[in-house]
Structure 1
Amino acid sequence: MKAESSMNAISPSTNAVIHLVFIAMSLTCIIPLLLVIAVSISNEQSIVAEGYRFIPAKLSMDAYRYLWQENRMILNAYGVTIFTTLVGTVTSLLIIALFSYPLSRRDFAYRKLFTFLVVFTLLFQGGLVSWYMVTTQILHLKNNIWALIIPHLFNGWYVMIMRTYFQTTIPDAVLESAKIDGAGEFRTFFSIVLRLSLPGLATIGLFNAIVYWNDWWLPLMLITDDKLLNMQYLMYKAQSMANYLSSASGEHFGTVMQVAPPSLTLRMALAVIGIGPIVLAYPFFQKYFVKGLTIGAVKG
């Protein structure tokens, strides 16, 4: 036992190298975020004169004051984004799991056919014009909340990931024992398979949540009602408007600053507002990763 444990032990030098690598990777993620926050609370003129700095030469909340003027619209956009992210992620995860699980079963007669259909859609697509016509003319997904949810519900690449996960993680002995005990396919899937697949489900769920949260393309294509705009597209419109107003001369804008909006710091303030909730939500996903890794297998 001692010889085996010594073979698997990591030397202090190797352990130090691993720690340095992960520290460097963490810094590459944290440092840009700190710079964005610092620039967002900097004075616009100091940014123009001295460039981006981690320690602001002069503090200013003008960018956030400018955004506060449209607080109702921002809160409404947050509500739309949160709703589409939660409903879209859960629904998409359920559809992908229900579709990929039969593809992982060797006794499913049409497994190769449906796998081919999924792979074919990954290689070839119908194009933007046909997609838009089907979405708006057949599915009538225009200017309603479901236009921001349904187009992202199914992803062939996520199906292939979950199929592989089911094949390599769910033991056949567990499924056979469930069948012997009288459990049907749906009972086996919801009571056993899903509980043993938390790491895979959490991974796909996080991918889906990021897609829904960062989506600005669907509102651009399908939404014209301002009440249905999500946060990302609202930020895009606000940034475009701020750039336009900044380029105009001899005008006064806003009720708080009475000057042209700060385009450079506003861009960073929009980024902080946009990424804040999803960054804060990530630790809650993390516990499901850890919990899923410890959930059972075949026990003798």
Structure 2
Amino acid sequence: MATQIEYTTGLDKFNRTSNVVNVFFHLIFILLALICIIPVIVVLSISFSSEASIRESGYHLIPVAWSGEAYAYIANQGTMILRALGVSVLVTVVGTVLGVLLTTSMGYVLSRPSYKLRGFLTWVVFIPMIFNGGLVSSYFINTNLLGLKDSVWALILPLAVSSFNVIICKTFFKSTIPDGLIESAEMDGASQLRIFFFIILPISLPVLATIGLFLCFAYWNDWFQSMLYIDNQNLYSLQALLNSLMSNVDALAKNAASMGVSYAVLVATMPKESARMAVAILIVLPVAFAYPFFQKYFISGLTIGAVKG
């Protein structure tokens, strides 16, 4: 006689799934994982393919003819690649630190019920998340008013604060930080800055990691700000360099004179398709290695306060 499973509560019975459903879910997740992984494998394969095999037979999941000429070529362009890498690292580090500081401080202020302008400023933050001023007004302000044209700050300041991140911080602080903790600190004579930096931030690691990860990805993957505000190639980031490669296969050849190589020789010997993919791999690797270390805090920061019990 088959043993019948008894459920103590209706919730346990509601959460029960059959083996068939579990197998179906597993297949769906495997399919989604393959959809995400296969393009990366194809890009990696192209980066290790010879230029001749790409011209003859196109792209393949496994290279027809293996070659490391793309990475060797990038290594030979050491000055330009390292300069672009330095710009990307500088913008990402400074922008992430500045963005986390501004976003968390704004979210904390808006989460305090005793702040009189809380309702008004919440609408000021929320409305731009639905409607923005447009590209023309942003460009005019950043170039003519703030004078950020051809400046590294043009790559940092426009992305430092977003309404979405502020709302996440506000929800986190409002649902997680008890008012009694802040009131007790105020009774001990602590200032608001001291409360924020020495009490609030140390216990807000999930939201710090979440916002930091959002900003880090945004800065590292951004090329649009460079396209708008940067004309000086010395301020190109890796992403801007990749965008130039994707739109103009001769972008690297513009530096031929500084390397003592003729333009014609460089264009003739440049592994165009594989070099594009090699640069893309170099851009993706740091994010791919960093994400697993932040995943736990990332999920916690997004879901905390989402369900009220």
> Do Structure 1 and Structure 2 share a fold, with TM-score over 0.5?
yes
- Greater shift after overlay, 237-246 or 139-148? 237-246
Pick one of 262, 265, 269 that aligns with 1:253: 265
Residue 196 of structure 1 contacts residue 292 of structure 1 at CA under 8 Å; is this kept in 2? no
The CA deviation string for residues 146-191 of structure 1, in whole angstroms up to 9 with x for no partner, is 1211111121121112111222222333333433444332222222
Distance 1:283 1:273, change over 3 A: same
Question: 1:281 Cα deviation (Å)?
Answer: 2.2
Q: Deviations over 1:114-157 (max 9, x none)?
A: 11111222233333232222212221112222121111112112
Shift of 1:213: 0.7
- Cα distance 1:18–1:185, how it changes in 2: closer, same or farther (>3 A)? farther
Q: Is the 8 A contact 2:106 2:166 kept in 1?
A: yes
Structure 1: state its 5+ residue gaps: 294-300
**Structure 1 residue 211 displacement after superposition:** 0.9
Q: 2:186 aligns to what? A: 179
Match of 1:278 among 254, 276, 287: 287
2: CA distance, partners of 1:115 / 1:291:
23
Deviations 1:228-258 (A, max 9, x none): 1111111222333426899xxxx9432xxx7
> 1:266 — aligned with what?
275
Q: Give the one of 148, 156, 161 matched to 2:155.
A: 148
Distance in 1 between the 2:220 and 2:208 partners? 18
**Aligned mates of 2:250, 2:150 — CA distance in 1:** 27
SS at match of 2:114: coil
- In structure 2, list runs of 5 or more residues that go unmatched: 1-6, 254-262, 303-309
Corresponding residue of 1:160: 167
Q: How many residues align?
A: 286
Within 5 Å, give how 1:1-300 maps onto structure 2.
3=8, 7=12, 13=19, 19-242=26-249, 252-254=264-266, 259-286=268-295, 288-289=297-298
On the 8 A contact 1:239/1:266 being kept in 2, the answer is no
TM-score (norm 2): 0.80
> How does the TM-score come out when normalised to structure 1?
0.82
Q: 3-state DSSP class of the match of 2:86?
A: helix
Instruction: Report the Cα offset of residue 263 of structure 1.
Output: 3.2
Farther-moved stretch of structure 1 (135-144 vs 280-289) = 280-289
Code of the aligned partner of 1:277: P
Note the aligned Cα RMSD (angstroms).
Answer: 3.1
The structure-2 alpha-carbon separation of the partners of 1:114 and 1:269, relative to structure 1 and needing over 3 Å to count, comes to same
Aligned-partner SS, 1:107: coil
- Aligned AA (2:273): L
Q: Kindly, what percent of the aligned residue pairs are identical?
A: 41
